[in-house]
Amino acid sequence: MLISDLDCNTLKTHLSGQGLRFRTGPFSVSLRATIPAIARHIAKLYPHSETLDNDAFIDFHITTHQVAGLRRWLKPQVVFSFDGYKPFKPLPLAQAAAAFEWGLNWCIASSSHQYLIIHSAVVEKDGQAVILPGSPGSGKSTLCAALIHRGWRLFSDEMALLSAADGMIHSVPRPVSLKNQSIEIIKAFTQEPVWGERIEGTTKGDIEHMCAPDSSVRQPPTAIHAKYLVFPHYQSGCLTEITPLSKGRASMNLIENAFNFNILGHQGFEMVSDLVDSLECYDFTYPDLKQALDGIEQITSAKP
Amino acid sequence: MKPVLLIEFLRSCGAGELTKTEAQRYPWELLIRQSRRANLISRVALFLQEAGILDDIPAQPRQHFLNALRIAKANARATNWEVRDLYRILRGQNIDFILLKGSAYIWSENSASKGRLFSDVDIMVRESSLEDAERVLVHSGWMGSTLNGYDQRYYRQWMHEIPPLQHLKRQTTLDLHHSIIPPVSYPDFPAEKLWQQAIPAEDMPGLFMLSHIDMILHSAVHLFHEGEFDQGLRDLSDLDLMIREYILDGDLWEGLLLRAAELGLELPLYYALNYTQRVLATPVPEQILQKAARQRGRRHLPDGLLDLLFLAAFVPDHETCRVRGGKVARFLLFIRSHWIKMPWHLLFPHLVRKGWLRLRGENSH
């Protein structure tokens, strides 16, 4: 059964009761939340996720509840908790959906060390996967959102999961998070996607989440050997530039974008070396979305 | 009290009965959740590995244990790196230091190092070298935290450590001690006696660990006097492991009691023996426990009340097992730790101030 098969009331009953149990990528989640915005977020942005039985093993037991007490009336807040542990300070209630997304990112990044986790989008077409690591402002998510409406499949918007066991990138197709001007750019670019609610005034600015396409969530393969590593750099008014990167430089840049390199230690280093050895690596500077898409096509099609 | 899965698990580890676990049917998810909350998941994972049953556990829960083992390994690697760096800095000024708590367990690879997770490095220098040590550490990138003047004075006047230092680049926190118990609660604690029995580290002159017995006593003082019960069960498990390793094997019970009397730490030792035995079934001989009870001297609160508070506080604060009043118990133990630390005329204004800051939602230490 999928989340979209649940009617609104059943979804709310699960969320406010024993928890809504569902799969996202390789992870199983139980989410409890009484906040209506969270129920709407899940219904809209996780419709293709498979729901899980009561006896299924759950990786992450999550709650996002409204903070009780006087604040409930004066300054309503939401707090994210993972098995009773609260990694973040409470956020304004209006940011509840963002709190859930960031919280789930935190759960994955802080405990799933069977993967080297790289802050990166990953897209795939015709069996060719591109890793797009992104420091803030690089345009990673914007580029990713556009690519998946030009025939690419979303593997991941926020984190590339490089498996220590098989050296493959595992897919975790969650909603794409767009910020500030990127939201309008993508809305002008495509009318297709379903959007969540606009969340204003977060620490990252205004945010809207875009639903991951059904094909990304439910079709195989769920793991793939990557072929390209492209570091995007958005720079208004510049010329498009595609510069091959040395293996050493590419490795260092990749490590800078890894969340848990310190945990994996020596093994993490070996994994990065093996990965980079098998990739074509580029620095990619672009002035706008059209040039960005052309550049990615150029990188991935010019080869034998 | 209702049995708690994590506590039952730790008891069966101590009894060497882990190998009997039915790995296919055990409630692993519940154990993972409780142990994660208690910051004990890496230790649980290591026990499972040592008992040779990790491979029999179904793949999904096993993955969480394998990941927890990776975290512990990384924690140990980072800690030892910090210790070597501190050694380089302090050795340059000929300042001797003793590793304390987690970093000492990890460095000496004792039983309490097993899956031990922690965030701060703790070291102790002689009070006469405190100023020099702080200066050279600050010069090497360990910055004083941005505490306000009140907190700065509070630490420097009353406590056994200076305000925590934080490394500029790595964000690691370092607690620099000159004693193991706040001078305000125990004015003439003979810290030099700790130095007399400290064990030098191999090939690193100037670096020491506390003697085995002192390590246990320090762990007891820390747990039962400092009032941080968020990780109470983890700290009690440290005590259980070290008592089994250092005392039980060599039958050094009398030595432990004598040393506690020599240092004036009879009360925390009694609590340590009593509660490890009751919660984790540490095999403390009955006559030793009675002797420890007789020699403990002045009590601050009646045993019945303390039982209520401690036994509640040792249960992990997880929704599947937490006891009614657990939060209140932790809070009262926090108050108790301040009460036994400071006389009323100092404590009362301190608590009023802290309470006010907390109400206003400001960070407090």
If we measure between CA atoms, which residue out of A217, A270, A229 comes closest to residue A128?
A: A229
Q: Is the domain of A104 the same as that of A166?
A: no
Domain assignment of residue B357, yes or no = no
**Nearest Cβ partner of B77 from A58, A84, A265?**
A265
In this complex, do A262 and B74 lie within 8 Å of one another by their Cβ atoms? yes
Rounded Cα gap, residues A40 and B105, in angstroms: 49
Residue B185 confidence (pLDDT) = 79
B249 neighbors B209 (Cβ within 8 angstroms):
no
B117 neighbors B39 (Cβ within 8 angstroms):
yes
Domain assignment of residue B10, yes or no = yes
Two structure tokens written together for B321: 């097992």
- Binned at pLDDT 50, 70 and 90, residue B362 comes out as low
User: Tens digits of per-residue pLDDT, B211-239?
Assistant: 999 999 999 999 998 877 889 999 999 99
Q: In this model, does residue B295 exceed pLDDT 70?
A: yes
Please tell me the least confidently modeled range out of A28-32, B46-50, B181-185, B313-317.
B181-185
Instruction: Kindly give the residue spans of alpha helices, DSSP state H, lying in chain B.
Output: 5-14, 28-37, 41-50, 59-91, 101-108, 130-139, 149-158, 191-197, 212-226, 232-242, 253-263, 266-280, 286-295, 303-313, 326-341, 344-359
In this complex, do A84 and B61 lie within 8 Å of one another by their Cβ atoms? no
Q: Is the domain of A213 the same as that of A149?
A: yes
User: Tens digits of per-residue pLDDT, A30-64?
Assistant: 999 999 999 999 999 999 999 999 999 999 999 99
User: Tens digits of per-residue pLDDT, B244-288?
Assistant: 999 987 789 999 999 999 999 999 999 999 999 999 999 999 999
**Nearest Cβ partner of A61 from B33, B60, B68?**
B33
* Residue B70 C-alpha, separation from nearest chain A C-alpha, in angstroms: 6
SS3 B143: strand
Rounded Cα gap, residues B328 and B331, in angstroms: 5
A242 neighbors A232 (Cβ within 8 angstroms):
no
B336 neighbors B310 (Cβ within 8 angstroms):
no
Residue of B nearest to A265 (CA): B74
Q: Is the domain of A99 the same as that of A180?
A: no
Rounded Cα gap, residues B317 and B322, in angstroms: 5
Rounded Cα gap, residues B40 and B7, in angstroms: 11
Q: Is the domain of A100 the same as that of A135?
A: no
ipTM score of the complex?
0.94
B111 neighbors B242 (Cβ within 8 angstroms):
yes
Q: Is the domain of A102 the same as that of A125?
A: no
Rounded Cα gap, residues B207 and B83, in angstroms: 9
In this complex, do A83 and B58 lie within 8 Å of one another by their Cβ atoms? no
Instruction: Provide the domain count of chain B.
Output: 1
Rounded Cα gap, residues B272 and B276, in angstroms: 6
Q: What angle do CA B248, B252, B255 make, to 5 degrees?
A: 145
If we measure between CA atoms, which residue out of B221, B254, B215, B264 comes closest to residue B99?
A: B215
In this complex, do B64 and A111 lie within 8 Å of one another by their Cβ atoms? yes
Residue of B nearest to A27 (CA): B60
Residue with structure tokens 């998510």? A141
3-state secondary structure chain A: CEHHHCCHHHHHHHHHCCCEEEEECCEEEEEECCCHHHHHHHHHHCCCCEECCCCCCCCEEEEEEECCCCHHHHCCEEEEEECCECCCCCEEHHHHHHHHHHHHHHHHHHHCCCEEEEEEEEEEECCEEEEEECCCCCCHHHHHHHHCCCCCEEEECCEEEEECCCCCEECCCCCEEEECHHHHHHHHHCCCCCECCCEEEECCEEEEEECCCHHHHHCCCCEECEEEEEEEEECCCCCCEEEECCHHHHHHHHHHCECCHHHHHHHHHHHHHHHHHCCEEEEEEECCHHHHHHHHHHHHHCCC
In this complex, do A265 and B318 lie within 8 Å of one another by their Cβ atoms? no
Residue of A nearest to B230 (CA): A85
Q: Is the domain of A49 the same as that of A123?
A: no
Distance of CA B166 to the CA centre of its chain: 20
Mutate which of B4, B6, B32, B81 to test chain A, going by most A C-beta atoms within 10 A? B32
Q: What angle do CA B256, B262, B264 make, to 5 degrees?
A: 95
In this complex, do B73 and A265 lie within 8 Å of one another by their Cβ atoms? yes
B222-244 burial code (b ≥16 CB/10 A, e <16)? bbbbbbebebbbbbbbbbbbbbb
Which of A94, A111, A128 delimits the end of a domain?
A111
Residue B358 confidence (pLDDT) = 65
Q: Is the domain of A100 the same as that of A122?
A: no
Q: Is the domain of A267 the same as that of A147?
A: yes
Domain assignment of residue B361, yes or no = no
Residue B364 confidence (pLDDT) = 43
Q: What's the mean per-residue pLDDT of chain B?
A: 90
* Residue A260 C-alpha, separation from nearest chain B C-alpha, in angstroms: 10
A155 neighbors A122 (Cβ within 8 angstroms):
yes
Rounded Cα gap, residues B184 and B318, in angstroms: 35
Residues of chain B neighbouring A83 (CB-CB closer than 8 A): 33, 36-37, 318
**Nearest Cβ partner of B36 from A83, A112, A265?**
A83
DSSP β-ladder status, A20-24 and A27-32:
antiparallel
**Nearest Cβ partner of A113 from B29, B71, B318?**
B71
Q: Is the domain of A96 the same as that of A125?
A: no
Residue of A nearest to B320 (CA): A83
Of residues A138 and B98, more confidence is placed in B98
Two structure tokens written together for A215: 């094909």
Rounded Cα gap, residues B296 and B274, in angstroms: 12
In this complex, do A57 and B61 lie within 8 Å of one another by their Cβ atoms? yes
Residues of chain B neighbouring A263 (CB-CB closer than 8 A): 70-71, 74
Count of CB atoms within 10 A of residue B250's CB? 10
Residue of A nearest to B58 (CA): A57
Rounded Cα gap, residues A36 and A16, in angstroms: 10
Rounded Cα gap, residues A2 and A11, in angstroms: 11
Residues of chain A neighbouring B319 (CB-CB closer than 8 A): 84
Is the alpha carbon torsion for B68, B69, B70, B74 positive or negative?
positive
Residue with structure tokens 């500029």? B168
Q: A interface toward B at CB cutoff 8 Å?
A: 28, 57-59, 61, 83-85, 111-114, 262-265
Reply yes or no: is the peptide bond before residue A287 cis, omega within 30 of 0.
no
Q: Is the domain of A97 the same as that of A209?
A: no
B340-365 burial code (b ≥16 CB/10 A, e <16)? bbbeeeebeeeeeebeeeeeeeeeee
Is the alpha carbon torsion for B259, B264, B266, B268 positive or negative?
negative
CA diameter of chain A? 65
Q: Is the domain of A135 the same as that of A270?
A: yes
Q: What is the mean pLDDT of residues B348-357?
A: 73
Q: What are phi and psi for residue A265, nearest 5 degrees?
A: 55, -130
Q: In this model, does residue A304 exceed pLDDT 60?
A: no
Q: In this model, does residue A215 exceed pLDDT 90?
A: no
In this complex, do A84 and B77 lie within 8 Å of one another by their Cβ atoms? no
Note down the domain range covering A90. Answer: 3-111
Residue A1 confidence (pLDDT) = 93
DSSP β-ladder status, A77-82 and B165-167:
unpaired
Residue with structure tokens 């300054």? A75
**Nearest Cβ partner of A113 from B60, B70, B319?**
B70
A42 neighbors A14 (Cβ within 8 angstroms):
no
Q: What's the mean per-residue pLDDT of chain A?
A: 93
A89-124 burial code (b ≥16 CB/10 A, e <16)? ebbbbbbbbbbbbbbbbbbbbbbbbbbbbbbbbbbb
User: Tens digits of per-residue pLDDT, A82-113?
Assistant: 999 999 999 999 999 999 999 999 999 999 99
* Residue A28 C-alpha, separation from nearest chain B C-alpha, in angstroms: 10
Q: What percent of chain B has pLDDT over 90?
A: 67
Note down the domain range covering B317. Answer: 5-345
Q: Is B60 on the interface with A (CB under 8 A)?
A: yes
Return residues 18-47 of B near A (CB < 8 Å).
28-29, 33, 36-37
Mutate which of B44, B64, B233, B363 to test chain A, going by most A C-beta atoms within 10 A? B64
SS3 B168: coil
Domain assignment of residue B266, yes or no = yes
In this complex, do A83 and B318 lie within 8 Å of one another by their Cβ atoms? yes
Q: Is the domain of A106 the same as that of A149?
A: no
Instruction: Provide the domain count of chain A.
Output: 2
Rounded Cα gap, residues B57 and B191, in angstroms: 47
In this complex, do B33 and A83 lie within 8 Å of one another by their Cβ atoms? yes
Q: Is B119 on the interface with A (CB under 8 A)?
A: no
Residues of chain A neighbouring B37 (CB-CB closer than 8 A): 83-85
Residues of chain B neighbouring A111 (CB-CB closer than 8 A): 64, 67-68, 71
* Residue A53 C-alpha, separation from nearest chain B C-alpha, in angstroms: 15
User: Tens digits of per-residue pLDDT, B104-119?
Assistant: 999 999 999 999 998 8
Amino acid at B312: A
Q: Is B58 on the interface with A (CB under 8 A)?
A: yes
